[in-house]
Chains A and B, each alone.
Chain A
Amino acid sequence: MSEERGGAGDSFEDRLKAARSRRGLDAPSSGGSPWGIGLRVGVELVAALVVAVAIGYGLDWIFGTRPILTAVFVPLGGAAGVLNVYRLFAPKRGEGGGAHNG
């Protein structure tokens, strides 16, 4: 059924979408409950940190430099977590031609 899209049908789709968002029928995609957003931010921050600690610890294990690389990678992981959170709320890349590469 969605095969009928494309070509002349696009304008109707666009108008329908605009009408739906005017009426508030389409939930905003980036929204969600505050609880959901909080959980996502928390997971992103922790995930980056976990990966960074794993990399640092693994490299320490390989090179035998026990605390140094772990210590180096922890702030990097924190930075990556902040980057993840920034990407979460940054303006969408593919939308409206705003070529924003985060």
Chain B
Amino acid sequence: MAAEGSSSIDALSQFKLSTALGPIGASVNFTQSNMMMVIAGLLTLALLWVGMRPRAMVPGRLQAAAELAYEFILSMCTETIGPEGRRFFPFVFSLFFFILFGNLMGVFPYAFTFTSHIAVTLALSLLVFILVTVVALKEHGVHFFSYFVPAGVPKVLIPLMVLIEVISYLSRIISLSVRLFANMMAGHVMLEVFGAFIVMLGAAGAIGWIPAALSLSVNTALIGFELLVATLQAYVFAVLTCIYLHDAVHLH
């Protein structure tokens, strides 16, 4: 989020990809986005591995966090999907913490938010979509396609309803990915815009100092808001995954 010395607000250059890890990264096109993904994965592992190493009866702070995380996702799975939800617990857990750490790390200056790229969120939502469809096909076989035929519809309307249902089913890919992407991107654009206000107004002399201070306070509030959005969007993504898995396991 560096806008120093620039006279115009350049809110989107923060999403530009560049290669990380020097010449090695450049030769295989390993971007800073990939770098943050690796870090997010490692942090998830570290939370569990380092957190659970003491195996204390009375947990310390990190162990308590790890246990809370485990139980939070487990109860989300079992309550939303049902008793079968345990099977999907590892998937939902990895998904939630991958997105959560990606979102949270993005709030730090100089860090990159990989969830602010539609390519990443679309890949994640395609993963969820394909998993849900495969689970539904495995559970119900051909009967799965009855999902697209709503009950109690006159025969004449069934072709129309099936089409609408299929579109509605496919639109999950878009809505799941766009929601996460739009939230993260909008938040970071706002931060950048108000950050640029601070610099530009602050440089404009004494007249600009009061509005610059106002922008600074807005940005302070925005950082807090971003933390909320980061957690909330990871939660929403995981909960929607659970709801879709519930539909796949129970059909209706």
Contacts and interface: CB of A to CB of B under 8 A. Distances in A.
Interface in A54-102: 55, 73, 76-77, 79-81, 83-84, 87, 93-94, 99, 101-102
Interface size bracket, A side: 20 to 34
B149 to A, nearest CB: 11
B29 interface: no
A39 interface: yes
Contact of A93 (B151, B171, B172, B252): B252
Contacts of B71: 1-2
B84 interface: no
Given A93-B252, A102-B150, A51 B174 contact: yes
Given A2-B74, A48-B167, A94 B246 contact: yes
B178 A2 contact: no
B179 interface: yes
Given A46-B178, A101-B150, A80 B252 contact: no
Given A2-B74, A102-B150, A76 B167 contact: yes
B182 A43 contact: yes
A47 B174 contact: yes
Interface residues of B, number: 27
A39 B179 contact: yes
Interface string B182-202: 110000000000000000000
Name the residue in B71, B164, B167, B171 with the highest tally of chain A Cβ atoms < 10 Å from its Cβ.
Answer: B167
A43 to B, nearest CB: 5
B164 to A, nearest CB: 5
A43 B179 contact: yes
Contacts of A48: 167-168, 171, 174-175
B179 A50 contact: no
B164 A83 contact: yes
Given A43-B178, A79-B164, A93-B252, A50 B74 contact: no
A47 B75 contact: no
Contacts of A80: 164-165, 167-168, 171
A40 interface: yes
Nearest to B229: A36
Contact of B171 (A84, A101, A102): A84
A36 B252 CA distance: 26
A76 B150 CA distance: 16
A48 B163 CA distance: 12
Interface in B82-130: 82
Given A39-B179, A43-B179, A84-B175, 5 more contacts: A46-B178, A51-B171, A77-B167, A84-B168, A101-B150
21 contacts: A36-B232, A43-B179, A44-B175, A46-B174, A47-B172, A47-B175, A47-B178, A48-B175, A50-B171, A50-B174, A55-B170, A76-B160, A77-B167, A77-B171, A83-B164, A84-B171, A87-B168, A94-B82, A94-B246, A94-B250, A102-B150
